[in-house]
Amino acid sequence: MDNRERRLYDAALEGDVDLLLELLREDPLILHRYEVSEANSVGSPLHVVAKLGHVRFATEILNRKPELAEELDSRKSSPLHLASGKGHLEIVKSLLLVSPEMCLARDIDGRNPLHIATVKGQHRVLDEMVRTVPRAARERVSLAGDTVLHLCVKYKRPEALKLLLDSCVGDNEMLNAKDGDGNSILHLAVADKQLEVIKHLLKNDKINKNAKNTNGYTAMDIFSHCPSDVNKDRDIRNALRRAKVQRATYLDDRNTWKKHAEWLETQRSGLMIVASLIATMAFQTGLSPPGGVWQDATHGNGTSVLAQTMKFEYNSYFILTTVGLVLSMSTILLLISGLPCKRVSVGFMMVFMWIAITAITAAYLISVYVLTPNADRTIAKGIVLFSTLIWFVLVIVLLLGHIIRGFIEMIKWVYRCIKNCIMGVVQRA
């Protein structure tokens, strides 16, 4: 650094505008020849005055060399970063007027000037930058993944948080954004027991009060795991309860019950359709037996031909169709009776339908068998036996599947009970 440059830095340190003008008269290009090097940890003269708040000096430099607003020091900080951190509003305004895009520049920690103003609690500077470059408020810190709202909570800046929530960042996306650890701003506020922030956030309808972090914890779970604070715990607990913030286990159980209710409704609709169809088929086949009815008084006008020619087959056919009709009509009666539709009752009705479908299928096979000419009944008998075998194998497989699923559900239920008991003991301890 030569003598003139050293004098320029001295002038910047003192904010001596007269000395700056004298140096410019001696060397009009002194600012134009200036370059920031990696070894220069101080930065440019503009960095110096931005940090110290010498407004007139900064204005003179920007008028003659506005490009210096884009220079970065060894920590990749621009003059806007430094002025924002120190709260020098007038210098910030001048820098934004010259180069507003520098509001998006990131320093070595991945923070832009708006992030710096938030961390330092410079509310006036923060308000100015949000209005000038709103996009900067939506940028995340590169390394940690924090939003500007996360920074407000982590550095305990409630006023900055309120200012930002009233601006362009108070939408669903920003309010419910998560940091690198999966925590929302409500998670962080509860963990740090910031009562004022918690109450302010819970009043906002846009925030997801029951969001879960990476560990699957809601804000209420985090509160229950935090060290006790006699002065704040009661108020925080009441605020969370009034806002209906729940534990993750409760939400999981509620989702399970919701899915269970949806499953029951689907099964109920399906059972009604199947039962109605089987009832119609059983009624129709009962009135129209295979082989038809006699049309003369000698044999009994309107009586079944099959009842007199093949009594065993007719009795089997009659029993099967009657079973199908009675069970399907019973199912319809239960469904329209208004009784609570529980898993057990649905299970019984499903068993009814299994038996009814089996009965109707068997009745169909008997019909095919008796309608086949005597010469071809050997083939028909083989087909009937094979079909019956396939049907019973399918029923056995389904039955085993339900038994295995029930066993697994029972194991899960026992596991949840043991887990809840252990968590209860730990929390009481």
**Residue 79 pLDDT greater than 70, yes or no:** yes
Question: How many Å apart are CA 52 and CA 69, to the nearest integer?
Answer: 15
Dihedral over Cα of 348, 351, 357, 359: its sign: negative
Tens of pLDDT, residue by residue over 368-425, are: 888 888 777 788 788 888 888 888 898 889 889 888 988 898 898 888 788 767 765 6
Strands (E), 316-424: none
Please determine, for residue 40, whether its predicted confidence score (pLDDT) is greater than 60. no
Give CA–CA dist 407/386, Å, rounded.
32
What is the maximal distance between C-alpha atoms in the chain?
139
In this prediction, residue 62 carries a pLDDT of 95
For range 173-199, the mean pLDDT = 93
Residue 428 has pLDDT above 60, yes or no: no
| Three-state secondary-structure class, residue 167 | coil
User: Looking up tokens 């109450």, which residue turns up?
Assistant: 199
Task: Tell me the domain boundaries of the chain.
Answer: 1-139, 142-246, 252-428
Q: What is the three-class DSSP state of 270?
A: helix
Determine which helix (DSSP H) or strand (DSSP E) holds 333, and give its type and residue range: helix 311-336
Stretch 204-219: mean pLDDT? 90
Burial 63-77 (b: 16+ CB within 10 A, else e): eebeebbbbbbeeeb
Mean pLDDT for 90-115 is: 96
Phi, psi for 65 (deg, rounded to 5): -145, 75
DSSP 207: S
Average pLDDT over residues 143-155: 92
Tokens of 47: 């960095």
Backbone angles phi, psi at 395, to 5 degrees: -65, -40
Helix (H) or strand (E) holding 1: none
Tell me: pLDDT of 225 over 90.
Answer: no
What is the average per-residue pLDDT within 48-65? 95
Q: Exposed, middle or buried, 271 (CB in 10 Å: 0-12/13-18/19+)?
A: buried
Please give the structure tokens belonging to residue 100: 């507003």
**pLDDT, tens only, 345-364:** 787 888 888 899 989 988 88
User: Residue 403: CB partners within 8 Å, gap ≥ 6?
Assistant: none
Q: Binning pLDDT at 50, 70 and 90, where does residue 83 land?
A: very high
How does pLDDT run across 290-337, given as a tens digit for each residue? 888 888 777 777 788 888 888 888 899 899 999 999 999 998 988 888
Check pLDDT > 90 for residue 427.
Answer: no
State the Cα–Cα distance between residues 174 and 271, nearest whole angstrom: 46
| Sequence letter at residue 340 | P
Mean pLDDT (whole number) for 58-81: 94
| Distance from C-alpha of 71 to C-alpha of 77, rounded to nearest angstrom | 8
Is the distance from CB of 305 to CB of 294 less than 8 angstroms? yes
Q: How many helices (H) and strands (E) does the chain have?
A: 20, 0
Does the model's pTM come out above 0.75? no
Q: To the nearest whole number, what is the mean pLDDT of the chain?
A: 87
What percent of the chain is predicted at pLDDT more than 90? 45
Checking if the pLDDT of 61 tops 90, the result is yes
Fold of 142-246: 1.25.40
Q: Which has more confidence, 428 or 305?
A: 305
- List beta partners, residue 293: 304
Report whether 128 contacts 91 (CB < 8 A).
no
pLDDT at residue number 106: 95
Q: What CA–CA distance (Å, rounded) separates 238 from 395?
A: 55
Distance, CA of 197 to CA of 220 (rounded, Å): 15
pLDDT band at 38 (very low <50, low <70, confident <90, very high): very low
Please tell me the predicted confidence (pLDDT) of residue 340. 67
Would you say the CATH fold of 142-246 matches that of 1-139? Answer: yes
State residue 304's pLDDT score: 84
Nearest to 241 by CA among 212, 198, 205: 198
Query: Is residue 63 pLDDT above 80, yes or no?
Result: yes
Q: Note the residue count of the chain.
A: 429
Q: How confident is the model at residue 125 (pLDDT cuts 50, 70, 90)?
A: very high
| Residue partners of 46: CB distance under 8 A and separation at least 6 | 12, 58, 61, 62, 68, 69, 71, 79
Cα of 353 vs its chain's centroid, Å: 39
79/76 Cα distance (integer angstroms)? 10
Give the distance from CA 324 to its chain's centroid: 46
The CATH superfamily label for domain 1-139 reads Ankyrin repeat-containing domain (1.25.40.20)
Q: Which two tokens stand for residue 101?
A: 């895009």
Percent above pLDDT 70 for the chain: 92
Q: Quick one: tokens of 379?
A: 């083939």
What is the rounded distance in angstroms from the CA atom of residue 111 to the CA atom of residue 120?
12
CA–CA distance, 166 with 164 (Å, rounded to integer): 5
The answer, yes or no, to whether residue 1 has pLDDT greater than 60, is no
> If you average pLDDT over residues 80-91, what whole number do you get?
97
